[in-house]
Structure formats: C-alpha cells, structure tokens
Structure 1
C-alpha cells in the first residue's frame, strides 16, 4: 500500500513539473522568435548590412567610378598596366555586390515585413533598393529590377522602364514616410539618421530630383514633371549639412584609406591637382596631404600637392608612391565614421541646373550655385569661400608628370571657365561651372560625378593617356571616354536570353563605348 501511494505521488509530481516544462527549461540567454520580434529585431537587423553595401571597395568602386570620375588615380600598373583604368576591362563586380547584398536580402525582409504588416519597413527596404539600383544602372544600363526574384531566365527593365518604376516607387515611399514622421521603428537600426523618418523622406525626395536631372536631356517632359514634384513636395529636400545622408562605416576604415595607406594603390588624381590648385581651392588640404619631396611640385611650390593622371602609362608602382595621399584623417576610423552619399551641396547644384532648365520652384541658378559651394566649404571645414566665389581670373593649371620622360602623361587643361558666376554667360558656360563645382564637392562619392561627366561632358577632364580598348570589350576612340560596363559574365552565361533582350533595349552593342539612355551625346540645351 505504501508503494502504491508513493507511485501516485511521483506521478502527480511529474505531472506538475511538465505543466511548466517549457517555462522552466527555457534558456534565458537564447534568442527566441518572440524576442526577435520585440523592437522589430526580426526585420530591422537586415538594414545596417544592406546600407553598408552601397559603396564598393577597390575593384568595384576605386578602380571604376573613382577612376572614371577622376577623383583618385592609381600608381599601380595592375595586370601589366593594361586594366580598367586604361579601358581594358579586368573587373566588373559591382553588379554581384549589389544583387547579393542588397536586392536579395531586401526581397527577403520585405516578405517578412509585409506578412507582419510593417509597411514602414517595407518602404525603407524599397528606398534602399532604389539607392542601390540607381547606381548599378549607371554601369550597365538595363538591369533587373521589376522582375527581380522571379525564376528562370529573367527579363531586364529598359532604362526608360526603370526610371518610370523608380519614380512610381518614390511616390509610394514618400507618401508613407511623410504620413508617419513620428514612427520610431527604425531607431535601433539607423546609423544614418537615428530613426528620423522626416530625414529619410527628404532623402527620398532628393533622390527624385537627382534622377530627374539625370534624365533631363533624354526625357525632358518626364524629368521636368518629376523635378518640379520634388521641388514642390512639402517633405522638403536635403538643404542643410545636418540633413546629409551619410552611410555608416560601422567601425570599419574608410574604403579609400585602406586602399591608399595599407595597399598603396590609390593617390590624388592629376585632374584634382589641376583644378584645385588652379582655382586656389582650400578644400585641397581637407582632401589630400602634401608631398614631402618638393621636387615633385617645382611648378607650383606654394601648393605642394601632386596627382597621377588617370589612364597613365605606368612602369613601376614605387615611381609614384610619394605623390599625394588622401588626407591622413581618413585613415582613422574614430575620425571618419561614415561615407558621404547625398549632401546639401549636391541638392543646391541640382537646383542650379534645374533653374537653367526653367523648372518651376528651382529658384535662381546663381544663388543655388553659390549656396552649393558654400555648403561644401562648410562641410569640409575649408576657409576662404568668399574670395573663392569672387575669383574671376584663376583657371585650372596644366599638368606635368615629373616621373615620366618628355610629355608622357602630361596634359593641357581643357577648362576655360572661372569660379565666379557671370550672369551674362550662356547656359552652357553656366552649366560647366555648376557641374565642375558639383564634381569637386562630391569628393568621397564619385558615382554621380561619373554620371555627370558622361551626361554633360563636364568637367572637361583630361582623356586617358594610355587607351587599351580593343575589340574584346569595344573600342573607345581617341578623344572620347568609356561610356558603360558590359553585362556581367554570370548573366551572359546563366541568363543568355535576358542579356540578349537587355542588349536590344540598350540600343547598341554590349560594349564599353555604347551610350546609356540618358547619355545622349546631344547638346545640353
């Protein structure tokens, strides 16, 4: 009898324990599905990694758009001196970076956010997709956007379809953001704006203006309508440096600093030397460090900076390692914690061009131009802006490569416009001033200057000295520039019908000399 009572007692005790088995046996340090959903962790954790991939590194940024915009140049004769910088394509990887690290996770997080009703996170991801794909398209032209994530051989969007989709998506994104400026869901995951939705709305609206100006020559009616919508939208634009969109480096070193100081593969460009020294531009000391060997700057000892010509004839890397590096402050992750993506100065220059094009709400071209220059000087902490804007005589200087024999790598500057605004100039001269200053102010992010150089012909940068283009990737005639990048090999091999359709939409051969949709080759006005 005692044994029976004991057995019943044990059974009852075990039953009581199993009633709370899950509670008593849960690891308090384990991440559960419920805890992931608290504070939006299950969706928000995607965003820092996506944003951090907007900029490429050496082979998908520095040796492409940094080179073609001529902000930086390499001393290194990669692959025997015949490579991207001399118009022979060796590296073409930005596509994979953006699709693998932004488009794919964005699709995943959008599905999760839609299922949970988190519309704000859906539209945040959609905005990041536009930030990314608006850059990828300036490499290739037609890209996969509307049909991303479908199975089989995927169809590309033509560029006209793509920009139409961008603008439609921005309508929805801006409407959602402007209606929810008090939303706090982004706070934990937003290293750029600290969760301030109103600033994300300004970025989205500024992107509309950027894209409208980009297509202003090829689709003037669409561009004007979209540009005027951006200028009139009550959410506003990025018009103060406090609203600038900077992409956090998340504790990592500034990309160009690693390339410059650790690998010795990038230096000041000769175009920067020519323009900044010629214009007596004090931003030079914020961008670059002076040389220690004064023999390199015998032609301008008061401005001891020396750059490398893009597309130069190079023999040995050591020849030009003592040319100007970027400023040493960029090598300190504690001082440089982010990368500039969209600034108030760019918005002012966009508005200045919009004014030249007669867009309602743009204001006066001169006021916008000078505001853009002032915002850039303020951002970089440079002095002397008043004298700079009043200078109507200084011009970019000619370039001499002190490490090359004779005239090798030398050039005569093609720029004949001064900094000071002259209201009697024609629109073409005014546009050259605007785009040249926009080019300088965009230091740290050379993507849009590369677009502008193709779209407008400005600044009038030197052509590459060594042009190795050939039938493999297409021929660039002397006195012309590389216009695009070929479709990537992974797509050529894995999606051949899609690439064939994309090439037809491109309107020319899949070569580096084929102009993109907005690069019309026609007059600017």
Structure 2
C-alpha cells in the first residue's frame, strides 16, 4: 500500500489530467513529486502552488460557497447545493489538491532551509498556513503532524486536533513575519507580490489576524491578547494598509497565468445560476455602487435575485420572474486577467472593526468599518470619491453608530465585501451566525446550513482507523457536526 501522500498526489494528478483545471503543461517540471526533487530552486515551487491552490479555492467557492451563502442560486437539475445536498465524492478535489499544495510548501521550506534562504522559507510558511487553514476550517480535525512526512513512509497519519493545528499555523505565521529579511535575496516566481518582501510581511500578519479572529471564541488561544499585541506594534507587525498591499491573484491574461473561468463554458459559470435574493436585496436597499461589478441586470434593467432552498420547478419559476428574468453573475468576472482576492484591505479593516467593537483594541470601530466598505468599493473599481462614499455611509441601513454598531451590521457589510473571496463568508457565518439567511422549504440537513464538510472518500479508504477515531470524536462525520472553533 502506498502512503497517503502518494495516494493524494496520484489522485490530484489524475484529476488534473481529466479536468484540465489543476495544472498547466507549463508547470510540468515543477508539478512533480517534491519529495524526490532535490535540485530545483525553492522559489520555483511557489508559483505552481499559488496558481493551483488559488484556482481550487476560487473554483470550489464558486461551486459551493456561493450556493450555501446565497450569493448565487443554481436553477438547473444540479441545484442541490442550495438545498444542502452533496454527492459523496464532492469534497475529494478540495482535500487532495490542498494537501498536495501544502506538501509542496513543506518541501519548499525544507529546501530553502538547507540553503539558509529565509525569504523562501517564510513565503512557504505563509502559503502552507493558507492551504492548511482552509482544510481544517472545512473539515475540522485533519492529518497534520504526520501528513507531510512522505519520506518516512507513514502509511496511516494520525488526525491532529484543530486546536493544535491552529496553534502551529499561527506560530508559523508569526515566525514568517520574523524571518522575512529585506536585506537578503528573494529569488522566486511569485504570482501575488512579485517578490515584494514588505508586502509579504503584511500578508503574513494579516492572515494571522484573520485566523486569530476566527478562533477568538476560544479563550485558551488568547486571541484578543495576540491581536492587541499586533495592533499595538505596527512597526513589528505591519498589516495590509491599502488596496495596493492586498493579496490578489493578478493574472497576466496570457496563458498559463489566466483566470481559468475564461475557459469555463458560460452555461457552467453563470448561465444556469441566478444571483441570490439576500445579496441583491441588501445591495438594492442601499443603492450599492458595486452591483454592476457583481451582477447583470434583468430585462427591465433591475438587479433582481431569487430565493434559495426551493425545489427545481419553483426555482426555475423564480428565475423566469414572469418573463422579466433575473440577474446572473457579471460577465466581467470571466475575464482572463480578472483578479480574485486572497486577503484584502477591506477584510483587514472589518477584522479591526470587530476587534475594536469587542474592546480587544483601543480604536474606533466605526472608522474601520467605514474603511472596510471604502476599500471594497475601490477593490472593485467603483467610484467612491466625491459624494458617492459619504452618501452610502450615511444611509440608515449602512450607518454604523449607536445601536446599529453591532456584529449583525458589521458582518452584513463584510458579507457583501467578501464576494468571491474563497469560503470566508461561510467561515464567518459559522462563527457569528451572520448574515441571517432565509431557508427555503426544500432544504435538507435538518434545515441546518452545513457547519463543516464530510471527510472525503480517499481518507476513508486509505486511513480508516484514524478516520473512524476522528469521526467519533465529533459525534459522527456529518454536515451538522461542529468544528472546534464554533460555538
């Protein structure tokens, strides 16, 4: 029997060949088993991991997160996700691809460490933390300590607790900030920052802030204290501070570095999807200037979404809207050079607004809330200057003052801003309960929006004893079981 890692690499390769969406031929030399690659420069492993990992998260968010969080509603025969129904093998591509990419970053770190290449070491830690945090936030306890030891022929890696995984990746992000060195070379192929070390440090600290807020309900993590330490020492812990700093996958528009939605059939991307009613209603009620970036107009020229969680025939009728039709995803999102976010200035501002609102830092929550909205508008290239911004912030359903300065309003605006930002809105929903999303009469799963994904078939088949123990620990491998950081 092969190791779990070898199984994962084989399946990931087969998926790439059959689907044509994981790797491109231009990455062939780099997408080999890094356990056996000893001569390749560490920095050359970065771009393939960024590209494949980002596409996996973006593609699966388009398919799953957008449906669960009612950004969109699938109207065709495969609209099961809006009803909380998933095929048994639905989550296998997420597991396999993110594990392989995390392993690549583990090997990149080891190779860079042998050369005392601190900047590639740090970049590997940041990217691995991103991949692993998504894995554990989706599934809960996962193999970690023993998962990246392919050379040791570990056949059955144990599942680590989510708490221990978070402790490790938070420490890695702190270490990355410490070892990035502007005075040393950073020889790398970098699709996010083109080797800008200052921006990488801001990315590392901002991701640490994101993850600390995620586990802030767990007193044993002392997240408020760590956030206060970071906030109080910006020279040591710089954060993303402008749209220019944010971690974006800025595709060149020339193969292989293109937004792969470009190659997706229009019917698959948006043809059978309609915009979700909660998102469109929130944006219509405030005359949100980002609507044209997110959605198309219907026949009379309005932005109209449809409710989620109904059966197929009802959903089709909602989409038709008496012949007036309803909004779909904006066609510009399919552009070959259209950038998609990993971690934005908008998100950082909303994280700091929450920290201020809860008293973890001494700061004005309203100021960061307003900056979060402004940053989002600018991220989407919408007009903010002049009276546009002040008019929007003064609207009664937007204004963040008095009794309206609360988590529901903050997360509601963050939900709008996190459109096409991976699975972040789902993680926020599970942590806070916001935004409040209506549930249609055809939803399954006891009417509960999934609180995690079920473990994939690959781990059930290759690591059954450890899988069984992990499933028993959470009360069963179910969509309704909660991960450690959820209340």
Q: TM-score, normalised by structure 1?
A: 0.76
Return the alpha-carbon distance in structure 1 between the equivalents of residues 142 and 174 of structure 2: 21
Q: How does 1:100-499 map to 2 (within 5 A)?
A: 100=100, 102-150=101-149, 151-177=154-180, 180-186=181-187, 188-219=188-219, 222-233=222-233, 234=235, 235-249=237-251, 251=253, 254=259, 261-263=266-268, 264-291=271-298, 293-294=299-300, 304-315=302-313, 320=319, 323-334=326-337, 336=338, 338-361=339-362, 363-383=363-383, 384-392=388-396, 418-425=397-404, 430-468=406-444, 476-478=445-447, 480-499=448-467
- Matched with 1:519 is 486
Return the alpha-carbon distance in structure 2 between the equivalents of residues 153 and 388 of structure 1: 55
- Residue in structure 1 matching 2:82, options 60, 85, 90: 85
Q: Is the 8 A contact 1:54 1:98 kept in 2?
A: no
Provide Cα deviations, 1:391-441, integer angstroms capped at 9, x if missing partner.
11xxxxxxxxxxxxxxxxxxxxxxxxx21122245xxx6111111111111
- Matched with 1:298 is none
Return the alpha-carbon distance in structure 1 between the equivalents of residues 435 and 246 of structure 2: 24
Return the alpha-carbon distance in structure 1 between the equivalents of residues 402 and 316 of structure 2: 47
Return the alpha-carbon distance in structure 2 between the equivalents of residues 134 and 275 of structure 1: 29
Q: Is the 8 A contact 1:75 1:267 kept in 2?
A: yes
Provide Cα deviations, 1:162-210, integer angstroms capped at 9, x if missing partner.
1111121112111001xx1243424x51121121111111111011111
- Matched with 1:61 is 61
Distance 1:502 1:358, change over 3 A: same
Indicate the RMSD between aligned Cα atoms, in angstroms: 2.5
Distance 1:445 1:239, change over 3 A: same
Distance 1:44 1:498, change over 3 A: same
Q: Is the 8 A contact 1:63 1:85 kept in 2?
A: no
CA positional deviation for 1:134: 1.0
Distance 1:365 1:203, change over 3 A: same
CA positional deviation for 1:504: 4.2
CA positional deviation for 1:97: 1.6
CA positional deviation for 1:133: 1.1
Return the alpha-carbon distance in structure 1 between the equivalents of residues 264 and 398 of structure 2: 32
Provide Cα deviations, 1:331-367, integer angstroms capped at 9, x if missing partner.
3214x1x211111111111011101221135x11111
- Residue in structure 1 matching 2:468, options 479, 496, 500: 500
CA positional deviation for 1:59: 6.8
Q: Is the 8 A contact 1:43 1:109 kept in 2?
A: yes
Return the alpha-carbon distance in structure 2 between the equivalents of residues 316 and 432 of structure 1: 30
The unaligned stretches of length 5 or more in structure 2 are 1-28, 30-38
CA positional deviation for 1:265: 4.2
Distance 1:57 1:156, change over 3 A: closer
Return the alpha-carbon distance in structure 2 between the equivalents of residues 333 and 421 of structure 1: 37
Partner of 2:406: helix, strand, or coil? helix
Return the alpha-carbon distance in structure 2 between the equivalents of residues 132 and 312 of structure 1: 33
- Matched with 1:405 is none
Partner of 2:342: helix, strand, or coil? strand
Return the alpha-carbon distance in structure 2 between the equivalents of residues 508 and 76 of structure 1: 34
The unaligned stretches of length 5 or more in structure 1 are 1-30, 32-39, 295-302, 393-417, 469-475, 521-525
Return the alpha-carbon distance in structure 1 between the equivalents of residues 113 and 220 of structure 2: 36
CA positional deviation for 1:256: 5.3
Provide Cα deviations, 1:239-290, integer angstroms capped at 9, x if missing partner.
2111010024453554556557252243322222111112221111121121
Which has the higher Rg, Structure 1 or Structure 2?
1
Q: Aligned residue pairs: how many?
A: 426
Distance 1:249 1:267, change over 3 A: farther
Return the alpha-carbon distance in structure 1 between the equivalents of residues 274 and 47 of structure 2: 29
CA positional deviation for 1:326: 2.1
Moved more, 233-242 or 247-256: 247-256
Q: Is the 8 A contact 2:261 2:335 kept in 1?
A: no
Return the alpha-carbon distance in structure 2 between the equivalents of residues 347 and 59 of structure 1: 23
Q: Is the 8 A contact 2:276 2:308 kept in 1?
A: yes
CA positional deviation for 1:444: 1.8
CA positional deviation for 1:224: 1.1
Partner of 2:54: helix, strand, or coil? coil
Distance 1:312 1:88, change over 3 A: same
Provide Cα deviations, 1:113-150, integer angstroms capped at 9, x if missing partner.
23333232122112101011111112111122222223
Provide Cα deviations, 1:352-389, integer angstroms capped at 9, x if missing partner.
1101221135x111111111111112222323221111
Return the alpha-carbon distance in structure 2 between the equivalents of residues 260 and 275 of structure 1: 29
Distance 1:61 1:255, change over 3 A: farther
Return the alpha-carbon distance in structure 1 between the equivalents of residues 220 and 114 of structure 2: 39
CA positional deviation for 1:457: 0.9
Q: Is the 8 A contact 1:267 1:308 kept in 2?
A: yes
Partner of 1:511: helix, strand, or coil? coil
Return the alpha-carbon distance in structure 1 between the equivalents of residues 148 and 377 of structure 2: 43
- Matched with 2:12 is none
